[in-house]
Every structure is written in structure tokens, then in C-alpha cells.
Amino acid sequence: MRSPGIQRWRKAAVAVQAALVVGLPFVRLGGESALRFDVPTFRLFFFGATLAAGEYFILLVGSLLFLLGVITVTLVFGRVWCGWLCPQTALMEIVDIVKGALSVGGKAPSASGYARRAVYHLFLAALALLVSVNLTWYFVSPYEMLPGLMRGEVGRLTVWCVGVFWAALMLQFELLGRRFCATICPYAKMQDVLMDSHSLTIGFDTSRRDDCMGCDLCVRACPTGIDIKAGPQVQCVGCARCIDACVKVKSRKGGTSLVGYMFGTPTGRFRDALTFKSIALTAVIAGVGVLTAAVYSGSPDVEVSAVRLSGAACRVAPDGGRVAPYRLELANRGGADVSLSLSVSGMDGAILAAPENPVTVAGNGRRTMAVFVKAPAGVTGKTPVRIVISATDPKSGAAAEARTSFFCP
């Protein structure tokens, strides 16, 4: 059973997490936010990669891997997420510090108590606003939002995001508090099912029950009011305050804590939690992750798709050739602009006509246009002919092609 002074490490973890969450939208990779979902273009910027709507299978695989990762971590480390990494826990820690400093809560307040309560509620509103703006940066780049704010221009998406986040956070701060963990959080409800008898938990050493002084400091330290001596409970958020409380009181008498982290039992070891289930899950995550990364990194930076516009009539040119219209979509997943030369192959004498050729596609950009393929005179077009429309940037070497068919009766 390990029982060092834990709260200072938890506070350090909260500080690191806050710095990461606030700072990440300001980190730019390939000219874009390190992590942001761009609502107008439905693109996800993910640490230098750009996922467009057509590539969401990566997102799906990523979400499944994340879910498997959560299951594996819970299986081995129990509620470590709740106690150390959950943003809800981190925010409630900050709220608790301010609440304690202002001595809010408890009995009917005096005149100065009312003033402190007012300051406390103003603090909650301000904290909710700050967090809402921070969360909105994951949808609207701070490099757009902040200059816009300076000019007094706030986009509708910004207002909507900040408003929704702010309302949800105020509901959380003012009404739910830590009850959220025990009543609403789906992960908390799943944990009983996911954990097994070797998972890391915070528990009371029942074999030393006689050493317990019955001071109940562990109960009073608990933010959710649990008596850890009665065994693990769903309301436990893994904050470890009960451990520090018991360490403090027992060390005064030269004893050791009766409450602490344990892998199943007080004598349990980390290796006990490395069961077949947890090892197999880790292997599956690593295997699928490596495979997905290989598939994604092997796909070209430029993509082209061509669709024959079936509703639009093809026509016969003055020289007897036949002209069919296509909808061409060009996507550039790289960070730098490309200049793509368009051409058609697969049919002798075929010509491709586009409103511009070469076509410039901005880094992480997309272009859609109507193009025409002209078959030489003599081709009736009654039988579909397989053709290939190619897009090539000779400078960067980026290239892609789309297979389609020429049909123009």
C-alpha cells in the first residue's frame, strides 16, 4: 500500500493539465491548430494531420482505440482518470480552493458572509466564461477569435459555442458539483463493470481495522462524503484526500496509513493487474494503432475524385467530337499549396477542358469544379469507356488520379 503526501502531486497534475488544455489551441503545426475541429469545412486538424469528411474512418478507428484504451487503463489503474486527469475533477479542485479561501458554505451567513458568497458566485461565472472561451478555441482558432474580439467582431459560431459551454458549466458549478460523478457521468457508472479484483483502487486495509482510531478524518476529508472504511463505493472520485488525512493522523502516533492505493488487496502488486485481459487489450490497441497509422501515412497528400454529371446533357462539338461534363473534387491534405495540372488518359485523342488548369489548391484546402472531357470525332460514346483523370504537381511531386467512365450517347 503506497501513501505519500498525494495532494501536492495532484495539484501539480491539475496545473499541468490546465496548461496543456489552455495552451494546445495556440500550438500551430503546418499552419493550423494542433487540435481543432473546423465546423464550416467539417475538417479535423489533429497534430499536423488534416482529416476531411471523407476520411472520418480514421476518426472512427481512433475513437474505438480510445475506448479500448480507456477500458484497459480502467482495468489496470481503476479510477486514476477520475482522480488525476478528469477536467471535471480539476475544475472542482479549483472551485474548492476558492470556496475554502472565501469560507463559503455551511451555516446561515453573516453580512460579510453574503458579500463573500456574492464574490464566490461571480468567480464561478468568470471561471465558466474563461473555460467556455478556452473550449471554443477547439472549434474557432484563437488566432481568429482574439483579433476579431479586438475589432469588436464576434462570429455566430463563437457566440453559440461560448453560450452553450457557459450554461453547461454554470449548471455543473452551481447545481451538480461532485454529484455529477455519481449520478450523470457514464464513465463512473461503467467502472464497476470494467474493474476487476486486481485493479488499482483506494481502499481501507481491513486486516488492520483494530489500528483505526475512529477519528473519521478520512470521512471528513472526503469531498463526496464517503466512509472509505465501508469499502469501495461508486461515489468515490479517487481524489486520495482520505489517504492524506489518515497519513497525517497516523504519522503523529508513529503509525502508517490504513487507507491507500492498492492493487486489489493491501499486499497486491502492479504485476497482479497485468492479467491476460489487460495484456491482450494492449496488444490489440498497439496492433490496430500501428496498422491504421501505416495506412494513413501511406495515403497520398492529394486526392481527386471525378463524378460524371448524369443529369447534365453531353453535347456534340462542331468537329463531331462528343463532350461530357464531370464534377471534379480536389483535396490537398498537405500544409503547403499545390498547383495541379489536370489531364485525361485511357481514350486516344481525349481532351480535358477545365475553367483553370493548372489548379491551385491551398494547403489543407479543397476545390470543386465542373470540367469537360471531349472525345474525338468517331467515338459514339454509346458504350462507356474507362478513363482516368489525373492531377499532378510537378514541383512537389504530389499526384492523384480518379477512375471514371466516358459515356455520351
Out of 61, 104, 182, 212, name the contact with ligand SF4 by CB under 6 A.
Answer: 212
Out of 62, 238, 264, 365, name the contact with ligand SF4 by CB under 6 A.
Answer: 238
Positions in 244-283 near ligand SF4 (CB under 6 A): 245-246, 249, 258-259
User: Rounded to the nearest whole angstrom, what is the least distance from the CB of residue 88 to ligand SF4 in the complex?
Assistant: 13
Task: Give 194 or 217: the residue with its C-beta nearer to ligand SF4.
Answer: 217
Which amino acid does the sequence have at 364?
A: N
Chain centroid to CA 315: 50
| Beta pairing class for 49-51 and 200-204 | unpaired
Strand order in the sheet with 385-392: 359-361, 338-345, 385-392, 399-406
Task: Give 133 or 226: the residue with its C-beta nearer to ligand SF4.
Answer: 226
Stretch touching ligand SF4 by CB under 6 A, among 232-240, 282-290, 293-301, 317-325: 232-240
Out of 19, 215, 280, 307, name the contact with ligand SF4 by CB under 6 A.
Answer: 215
90 binds ligand SF4 (CB under 6 A): no
Q: Spell out the alpha helix ranges (H) of 274-401.
A: 276-298
Strands (E), 185-252: 200-204
Task: Give 242 or 389: the residue with its C-beta nearer to ligand SF4.
Answer: 242
Out of 131, 133, 236, 302, name the contact with ligand SF4 by CB under 6 A.
Answer: 236
Stretch touching ligand SF4 by CB under 6 A, among 4-12, 54-62, 241-249, 282-290: 241-249
What cell does 109 get? 451567513
What cell does 397 get? 511531386
328 binds ligand SF4 (CB under 6 A): no
Out of 17, 224, 256, 292, name the contact with ligand SF4 by CB under 6 A.
Answer: 224
337 binds ligand SF4 (CB under 6 A): no
Task: Give 228 or 331: the residue with its C-beta nearer to ligand SF4.
Answer: 228
240 binds ligand SF4 (CB under 6 A): yes
Question: Checking phi first, is residue 150 left (phi over 0); if not, alpha (psi -120 to 50) or beta?
Answer: alpha
24 binds ligand SF4 (CB under 6 A): no
Task: Give 214 or 378: the residue with its C-beta nearer to ligand SF4.
Answer: 214
Query: Residues 258, 205: contact at Cβ < 8 Å?
Result: yes
214 binds ligand SF4 (CB under 6 A): yes
Query: Residues 84, 238: contact at Cβ < 8 Å?
Result: yes
Q: % helix / strand / coil in the chain, to the nearest 5? A: 45, 20, 35
203 binds ligand SF4 (CB under 6 A): no
Q: What are phi and psi of 16, to 5 degrees?
A: -65, -45
Query: Residues 300, 399: contact at Cβ < 8 Å?
Result: yes
217 binds ligand SF4 (CB under 6 A): yes
Strands (E), 110-265: 200-204, 259-263
* Count of residues that interact with ligand SF4, criterion CB under 6 A: 27
13 binds ligand SF4 (CB under 6 A): no
Stretch touching ligand SF4 by CB under 6 A, among 34-42, 222-230, 373-381, 389-397: 222-230
Task: Give 17 or 305: the residue with its C-beta nearer to ligand SF4.
Answer: 17
1 binds ligand SF4 (CB under 6 A): no
- Exposed / middle / buried, residue 89 (Cβ in 10 Å: 0-12, 13-18, 19+): buried
User: Rounded to the nearest whole angstrom, what is the least distance from the CB of residue 180 to ligand SF4 in the complex?
Assistant: 13
Q: Which uninterrupted H or E stretch holds 92?
A: helix 87-101
User: Rounded to the nearest whole angstrom, what is the least distance from the CB of residue 223 to ligand SF4 in the complex?
Assistant: 6
Out of 43, 241, 366, 374, name the contact with ligand SF4 by CB under 6 A.
Answer: 241
86 binds ligand SF4 (CB under 6 A): no
How far is it, in rounded angstroms, from Cα 32 to Cα 141?
9
Calculate helix-pair angle for 186-194, 56-77, nearest 10 degrees.
Answer: 60
Listed in sequence order, the residues at least 6 apart from 326 whose beta carbon sits closer than 8 Å to its beta carbon are: 306, 307, 308, 309, 370, 371, 372, 373, 389, 404
Task: Give 141 or 172: the residue with its C-beta nearer to ligand SF4.
Answer: 172
Name the site residues for ligand SF4 (rule: CB under 6 A). 202, 212-218, 221-224, 226, 228-229, 236-242, 245-246, 249, 258-259
